[in-house]
Amino acid sequence: MQELTKTQSLFVQALMHFDIGRCRELLVGQHTVGDCSTHPEEIVVPALENIGQSWECGHISLSQVYMSSRVCERVMEKILSRVSTKQESSARLAIGVIEDYHALGKRMVISSLIAAGYKPIDLGHGLKADELVEGVLRENADILLISCLMFASAVRVKDVVEGLKRAGSRIPVVVGGAPFRLDPLLWKEVGAHAMGKNSAEAVKIIRELDGRQP
Ligand code: B12
């Protein structure tokens, strides 16, 4: 199991007690207002990974995993900025979670994009490949971001890329989520344009594609 820092361990303990106040306390000190840095993510992502591993080993139940993620959602919702502090961009970004229901990563990416001056269109989660293609065409998106946490859903990105091509769209598809972090070549295999490991990288990639300076 991955070794955690002291703060990450305290955060795991607080999550196991569903102690929202303590979780917030541990994260707030890490966050700088107006900055799209990933400090809270550096605690939340490894902590939830650790909790996922405990579930895999049979040490905790799925309902504990579920409750931990709900607590993280509540706390992050309050911490992450929803107000753009930077110059706004007119690029139309669409974002969705393919097939699976792990939506916390998408939320974090959305918050960072908003803080960086974008107005991402949230297509939702649990989406089939053709639903993502439909969403892109309906919203006339310039860039599609896809989040996923399961290998079975990651390989479906290929269907989205092919579906977009069939529909005559050549927009870049940017992917992110655990399967792409674990297999560094997977994003290329599924035909994505780029892959980001966290929400700061998501912003960096989008800025490059959008031709904007940091
Ligand atoms: C919380 C959680 C749940 C919650 C989800 C609640 C929710 N609303 O999100 C619940 C309890 C519902 C759940 C259910 C299940 N889960 Co689950 N879950 C997790 C857990 C513990 C944490 C995930 C998480 O929220 N992480 C925190 C977020 C913030 O991290 P993130 O998504 O990676 O996002 C970051 C980056 O990846 C990046 N990013 C994310 N998206 C994007 C997109 C772009 C474009 C970019 C650039 C970057 C980017 O930025 C984010 C911030 O840094 C993981 C463990 C793990 N290792 O991740 C297992 C895990 C993903 N789950 C797993 C499984 C198996 C399941 C279930 C099938 C269990 C079951 N038997 O029912 C179901 C499936 C549900 C479904 N169909 O989707 C497995 C997947 C294994 C695999 N190989 O595919 C994992 C890995 C656990 C394990 N160790 O086995 N789960």
Instruction: Classify residue 155: in a domain, yes or no.
Output: yes
CATH code, 97: 3.40.50.280
Q: Is 196 touching ligand 1 by the criterion CB < 6 Å?
A: yes
pLDDT more than 90, % of the chain: 71
Instruction: Classify residue 85: in a domain, yes or no.
Output: no
What atom of ligand 1 comes closest to residue 125's alpha carbon? 78
Instruction: Classify residue 10: in a domain, yes or no.
Output: yes
CATH code, 17: 1.10.1240
- My answer on whether 104 and 130 are in the same domain is yes
Q: Is 76 touching ligand 1 by the criterion CB < 6 Å?
A: no
Cα 168 to middle of ligand 1, angstroms = 32
The pLDDT tens digits of the residues spanning 43-98 come to 999 999 999 999 999 999 999 999 999 999 888 887 776 555 666 788 999 999 99
Q: Encode burial over 90-129: b for 16+ CB neighbours within 10 A, e otherwise.
A: ebbbbbbbbbbebbbbbbbbbbbbbbbbbebbebebebeb
Phi, psi angles (nearest 5°) of residue 147: -110, 140
- My answer on whether 147 and 108 are in the same domain is yes
- Choosing from 20, 54, 79, the residue where a domain stops is 79
- My answer on whether 99 and 172 are in the same domain is yes
Q: Tell me the residue range of the domain where 101 lies.
A: 93-210
Instruction: Classify residue 40: in a domain, yes or no.
Output: yes
What atom of ligand 1 comes closest to residue 205's alpha carbon? 47
What atom of ligand 1 comes closest to residue 41's alpha carbon? 53
Query: Would strands 143-147 and 173-176 be described as parallel, antiparallel, or unpaired?
Result: parallel
- My answer on whether 121 and 179 are in the same domain is yes
What atom of ligand 1 comes closest to residue 103's alpha carbon? 9
The pLDDT tens digits of the residues spanning 102-131 come to 999 999 999 889 888 899 999 999 999 999
- My answer on whether 133 and 200 are in the same domain is yes
Domains held by the chain: number: 2
Q: Whose CA is nearest to atom 33 of ligand 1?
A: 177
Q: Measured between alpha carbons, how far is 176 from 192 in angstroms, rounded to an integer?
A: 10
* Stretch 157-172: mean pLDDT: 96
- My answer on whether 65 and 109 are in the same domain is no
